[in-house]
Structure 1
Amino acid sequence: MNLRRALELLCVITPVISLIPISAYAKEALQPLTDTELSDVNGQALMSMSYIAPNDAANKMSGQGMGFYKLGLEAEMELNANIKKLQLGCGGMNGAGGCDIDIDNLSLSGIADTRDGRVGSSAKLTNPFLEFAIKNPNSASQREMVGFRLSAEKALGLLTLGDENTDGPNGINQLSGALKIKATTGTAVTAARSMTYADTDMKINGKIKLLGSLLQPDFDTNDYNLQLQSTNANLAINGTTIYGTRMESAKLTGSATISDLNFGGDINASVKVPLISLLPLTINANGYISGLRANLDIDEDLGFIHKLPLNNPFSLSLQTNTVHWPGAEYAANRGWWLAIEDQIDIGQVNPSNPIEVTNDILKQVVPSISNYLTNNPPNCPLGSCLIAGLNIGQVNLSSANPLYFPIKDLKLATQNFAPNCYGNLKFC
């Protein structure tokens, strides 16, 4: 929908409103009131109009010749709606091959976690309004409308996107706008896996105590097979603003504290012993890695975000150029634009599936293990570790640099939601 079509729609709606007979709402006989009686009467207009001049202090585009006209409804509106397919700005000013906004199965209701609760409730829009951005408002010959905005001073309700929380993305296909994500926490589980030279292309080296402190030969090996067990990771996700045109994914950052990571397996080492030169040993090693920290880099498809509790201002706008609307923290890009001004709480980030420990992550761990085994040689009296195994014990990596832990497309456990439908339908 372009600006011309939007204005045509407004021209159709306005006469309909003006035809509502005032007499239908007035008493048949009006009664005069004294000045004293009038002083006890309070009232408020249903409609309000305001104007922000180009050089007004409240104008975030001051000095750019942009004025803002606002028509507001001083009321609270309730709305429960399902939209099967919302597409705005497909092709158009931002180019072919996409849409400014493309969302499947959008539902707006009151805040509830059950079907009956959602169907039987409505979102509340406090003081909804329509606003126009007019360039050169004081010049009849150069006056130009560059955008309009549908908004409300506050929206309270539950907005859901897609039909259900699955292992694959659904709901948001493309989004233009600004959404502020609140900082949050969560817990993930790492997947168990093996660690071999083929995975890392890196040797493990260090020292072993064969005769206590008297004999501590060096070793290095590319022949090892250690099994890493699954463990927990406590996540801390930074707050961020998702901002841009035709976005398909969100970039989130954070940190993780990884619980003790148990390992066990064989290390086939060539130990450098004086007089013997090389002593081949097959070490049955076991222990655990502690103090692992990681910097998270999460590339999250927007189709995994399904549940947005609203308790904040919001707006949907269309503009031919970048417009910084009054009260908005971020300027809106050209085309259709959705903005939710206050932070959205997406709940705890608890991935439903284990997080894969990639080879790139293992490559960051190996040097720290080698450094630890060099500075803290495990005790292995000559020959005994061949029989009883070598208990490496704790490999404390708390002083090591945090790992770089890239994560992609997490299914979020807290993004489950009830459909806004009776019966068993996922969407209606």
Structure 2
Amino acid sequence: MLKLKLLFAFMGVVITNAVCADTLKSLDDQQLSQVTGQALLNLNYVAPGGSNPNANIGFYRLGLEAVLELNANIKKLQLGCGGVKGTGCDIDIDNIALTGITTSTAQGAGVGTDFKLTNPFIEFAIQNPDTAATRTVTGFRLGALSALGIMNIGSNGDLNTLADDTGINSLSGDIGVRVTNANLTNVHACTLGVSSSGNSCIGGNLPLIQLNGTANVADYSTTLINNRSSTFSLTKMTAQASASLLGLKLTNVNMNDIPYSTVHQLLVADTDSNGNLIATSNAYISSQSKNIYWQNVSDKTWSSNAAQQGWWISIPQTQFNNLNITQDVFLSAFGQAIPGAIFGTPVNLAPVDLGQMPISNCYGNLKFC
């Protein structure tokens, strides 16, 4: 009992001193109008009409004014399986690790890093929001003003084969992709000969010279629209060949039907004018009973890509960095290659292992790794 009395006495002294040190003062309306502050939570409503492209849908968004830092492992993510779309899942991914940005491949390299979400929010799309008798929830989403980090996906034991790659089984969403520092490692040009079936040089009665080298793919950007997709394509890329290949420029390079399972790192980031990594804006994951255009919270514009019925993930900007595409590409310098390079004849590459490894995010012996 004596201890409680002493504790209360001590608290009374502290509180009294705190009040005396900074006495509360009343403010009139004019003074209050000059005070600014920021709440931890904010609620926003977007009514139908105006620039809202959705027919009679209003949006209620509850946001958190904070930075949420995550380091998380998800063994299996399956969303939107079966239902009105039939067999399969909207999103089906094995082994996801959310980490910060690191280039290290050492064991546990991702453990001390964090995936950052700035101003995360939850939002509801309400059909007929002004009519109590008929209003319904037609969709909801989880998102953030901006996101920065790496989504590490699946596993890849052998960088030279697709057979062992695991990760994305099916995907629904719009993913903005920028390809940087991608290289074709085994490019061949056949001079005074022809390319036979695209896999060798045959000279006939003329002397045959085969030139060998590499080609660097120019920075390339596209948006992939997926609906339960297991593959994607990168088309109309350009590539600059090495000097050993006479500086040949390929203007229509295509990789079609690349399995999503070979994507093991999605760098969720944008770049500034100096090439520095910055957070990408307006990423979200949503579920809706009909196609919905969600608002971009960064500038209050509306997405140009509708989130389709079911589960949908939208990441406006990701990057594939440091890809080495190892396969033989044969071109004929006096036939199809140089005219093709100049006039845009397609150079079609077979899908290959993109050479990515997920960042290790293991705590001790915990799996998965």
TM-score interval (norm. to shorter): 0.7 to 0.9
In structure 1, stretches of 5+ residues that fail to align are: 1-26, 205-220, 263-288, 370-395
- Residue from 104, 107, 114 that aligns with 2:97: 107
User: The residue matched to 1:93 in structure 2 has which SS?
Assistant: helix
| Aligned residue in 1 for 2:352 | 410
SS in 2 for 1:164: coil
**Correspondence list, 1:9-408, <5 A:** 33-35=24-26, 43-57=37-51, 59-61=52-54, 64-96=55-87, 98-114=88-104, 115-164=107-156, 166=159, 167-168=161-162, 169-190=165-186, 199=196, 226=208, 228-253=210-235, 254-259=237-242, 291=248, 293-299=250-256, 300-310=258-268, 311-312=279-280, 313-327=282-296, 328-341=303-316, 343-351=317-325, 353=326, 355-357=327-329, 367=335, 401-408=343-350
Q: CA deviation at 1:420?
A: 0.7
Structure 2 vs 1, CA of residues 305 and 28 (structure 1 numbering), >3 Å: closer, same or farther? farther
User: Which residue identity lines up with residue 308 of structure 2 in the other structure?
Assistant: N
CA distance in 2, matches of 1:319, 1:409: 33
Shift of 1:90: 1.2
Deviation at 1:356, TM superposition (A): 2.1
Work out which of the two has the higher radius of gyration on C-alpha atoms and give 1 or 2: 1
| Per-residue deviation, residues 25-51 of structure 1 (Å, max 9, x unmatched) | xx9889571136996976432221111
Shift of 1:149: 0.5
The answer to whether the 8 A contact 2:153-2:358 is kept is no
- Separation (CA, whole Å) in 1 of partners of 2:290 and 2:172: 14
Counterpart-to-counterpart distance in 2, 1:42 and 1:74: 15
Q: Is the 8 A contact 2:187 2:214 kept in 1?
A: no
Distance 1:260 1:117 in 2: 38
Distance 1:192 1:50, change over 3 A: closer
**Residue 69 of structure 1: how far off its partner (Å):** 0.8
Change in CA separation of 1:232 and 1:425 when aligned onto 2, cut-off 3 Å: farther
Q: Distance in 1 between matches of 2:350 and 2:366?
A: 30
For the 8 Å contact 2:171–2:230, the answer to whether it is kept is yes
Alpha-carbon shift at residue 237 of structure 1 (Å): 4.7
The Cα of 1:164 is off from its aligned counterpart by 3.5
- Cα 1:248/1:227, change in 2 over 3 Å: farther
Shift of 1:424: 7.0
Contact 1:163 1:426 in 2 (8 A): no
Q: TM-score, normalised by structure 1?
A: 0.65
Give the distance between the partners of 1:118 and 1:93, measured in 2 at CA. 39
- Distance verdict in 2 for CA 1:160–1:225, change over 3 Å: farther
User: 3-state SS of the aligned residue for 1:112?
Assistant: coil
Letter in 1 for 2:39: A
Q: Deviations over 1:409-428 (max 9, x none)?
A: 23334x33421114577725
- Alignment length, in residue pairs? 320
CA contact (8 A) 1:292 1:402 kept: no
Deviation of residue 155 (structure 1)? 1.7
Pick closer, same or farther for the CA change 1:366–1:118 going to 2, 3 Å: same
Question: TM-score scaled to structure 2, two decimals?
Answer: 0.75
Compared with structure 1, are the counterparts of its residues 261 and 223 closer, same or farther at alpha carbon in structure 2 (3 Å cutoff)? farther
Q: Structure 2 counterpart of 1:315, which letter?
A: Y
Indicate if the aligned counterparts of 1:292 and 1:397 stay in contact, CA closer than 8 A: no
Cα offset for 1:101?
Answer: 0.4
1:336 to partner: Cα distance: 0.3
Q: Distance in 1 between matches of 2:226 and 2:341?
A: 38
Distance 2:169 2:69 in 1: 27
Shift of the alpha carbon at 1:193? 9.7
Gaps of 5+ in 2: 1-13, 269-278, 297-302
**1:48 and 1:403, CA in 2 relative to 1: closer, same or farther beyond 3 A?**
same
Displacement, 1:81? Answer: 0.6
The separation in 2 between residues aligned to 1:260 and 1:330, in whole angstroms, is 41
